[in-house]
Amino acid sequence: MSQKFDVVVIGAGPGGYVAAIRAAQLGLKTACIEKFIGKEGKVVLGGTCLNVGCIPSKALLDSSYKYHEAKEAFAVHGIEAKGVTIDVPAMVARKANIVKNLTGGIATLFKANGVTSFEGHGKLLANKQVEVTGLDGKVEILEAENVIIASGSKPVEIPPAPLTDDVIVDSTGALEFQSVPKKLGVIGAGVIGLELGSVWARLGAEVTVLEALDKFLPAADEQIAKEALKVLTKQGLNIRLGARVTGSEVKKKQVTVTFTDANGEQKETFDKLIVAVGRRPVTANLLAADSGVTIDERGFIFVDDHCKTSVPGVYAIGDVVRGAMLAHKASEEGVMVAERIAGHKAQMNYDLIPSVIYTHPEIAWVGKSEQSLKAEGVEVNVGTFPFAASGRAMAANDTAGLVKVIADAKTDRVLGVHVIGPSAAELVQQGAIAMEFGSSAEDLGMMVFSHPTLSEALHEAALAVNGHAIHIANRKKR
């Protein structure tokens, strides 16, 4: 006899595992199916984010930054650190340990909340039945009142640079290098390319980033993107815009990449090449022909604002549906869907999903950019504050970048907060909280901020919107 559940979730990434836990918390009998095989040859929970995405990349970013600081930045504090060396396998092993702890933690949370875990491949059939094919090939059918599809995404591969065992790799391979490549090529100057390029550049690789677009970070505010390009280039990342890769040839553990740019055809040889040109939704063998769920023209599962698919009682969340491919977007969709299944009126504010690039300085934003607001014909007032004028940033010797607050010129309501600088991710979150509560720039300016903090830069930028900044000269006096 088939088992019956109120909710069956396919995929245990940050979308799926969060949805499963929240559904179980709300008293719904919940199952979650996962097939990701971890390093130890067993199924592990946590999806891309915990296994090969957010967490392992941040572990390497933090380790590599500490190395870089010890080598390059301690001296200015009067600290002598001679003979600083790097043990790449130890660094990569530390990362693996963090992943193991966190993914194991999800299994514990499932047990604590009463989520039933199934190991294997999940496929949606007609009438909300879900077929689970175990690792041993055994097939089981689950009957579900509701199904949540959270099957995530995988890296896009490109014909001019097909992956090899160890020379041309995707983001997952780039988290596993056991030594520092002398010359590293990265295709794609997006979030993942910049973060992974930064890791290996800090450890000593000569890094070239090939980006087909002429514009750097087109989704970011133009002022912030310009500053980012300047700072990252100064750090040694050779970012080549308008460089379209047309071919690659692997010979003797090296790869020669052919690309065209404004100067015509070029060739560069690298010891490793990371392909980081984006991710695509995972829908292979996921939906039976008569499941009724439709896919949009870009290959994503079609959903409405509440993540409902074309079949009542079937939902899809996270990277497999439209919108930003971000773990926090996936998780919040998971919570919203679980709560709606339980009869609550939950919804999510898609306008306030923060974006972060964990380079150093970090680049982060929430809300709209100045150029997009101008294109919409919205009149704005803008306040900026450079970290070079922040006492806390000076104390930390971390003064690159700025905070930018954009407010509606008529209402003063904050419409965007953009930061490049130390702890930008944390500062932008403060902006997101303010914006969620409809704050004006004046409201933010009237709040008391601890001194000395990096957050004061947000305070000053908010004050600068109306010409009231204290620690810089105001462009507009009001």
Ligand X SMILES: Cc1cc2nc3c(=O)[nH]c(=O)nc-3n(C[C@H](O)[C@H](O)[C@H](O)COP(=O)(O)OP(=O)(O)OC[C@H]3O[C@@H](n4cnc5c(N)ncnc54)[C@H](O)[C@@H]3O)c2cc1C
Does 274 help bind ligand X (rule: CB under 6 A)? no
Does 49 help bind ligand X (rule: CB under 6 A)? yes
With respect to ligand X, which residue has the nearer C-beta, 198 or 466?
198
Does 281 help bind ligand X (rule: CB under 6 A)? no
Residue tagged 């869907």 (tokens)? 337
Name the packing angle between helices 88-113 and 54-68 (round to 10°): 140
451 counts as catalytic: yes
With respect to ligand X, which residue has the nearer C-beta, 79 or 156?
156
Does 454 help bind ligand X (rule: CB under 6 A)? no
From candidates 327, 364, 414, 457, binder to ligand X by CB under 6 A: 327
Does 64 help bind ligand X (rule: CB under 6 A)? no
Does 15 help bind ligand X (rule: CB under 6 A)? yes
With respect to ligand X, which residue has the nearer C-beta, 194 or 441?
194
Does 282 help bind ligand X (rule: CB under 6 A)? yes
Does 208 help bind ligand X (rule: CB under 6 A)? no
Question: Could you tell me how many residues make up the chain?
Answer: 478
From candidates 36, 67, 259, 300, binder to ligand X by CB under 6 A: 36
CB of 174 to ligand X, least distance (A): 8
Rounding to the nearest 10 degrees, give the CA dihedral for residues 420, 424, 425, 429.
-110
Does 53 help bind ligand X (rule: CB under 6 A)? yes
With respect to ligand X, which residue has the nearer C-beta, 407 or 419?
419
Does 360 help bind ligand X (rule: CB under 6 A)? no
CB of 125 to ligand X, least distance (A): 12
Residue of 68, 451, 459, 468 marked active site: 451
What is the pattern of x (binds ligand X, CB under 6 A) and - over residues 97-126?
Answer: ------------------------xx----
With respect to ligand X, which residue has the nearer C-beta, 201 or 464?
201
Does 30 help bind ligand X (rule: CB under 6 A)? no
Active-site residues, by number, are: 451
Q: Which residues are annotated as a binding site for NAD(+)?
A: 188-195, 211, 278
Q: Which residues in this chain contact ligand X in the complex, by CB under 6 A? A: 10-16, 33-36, 47-49, 52-54, 57, 121-122, 150-153, 171, 192, 282, 286, 318-319, 325-328, 330, 358
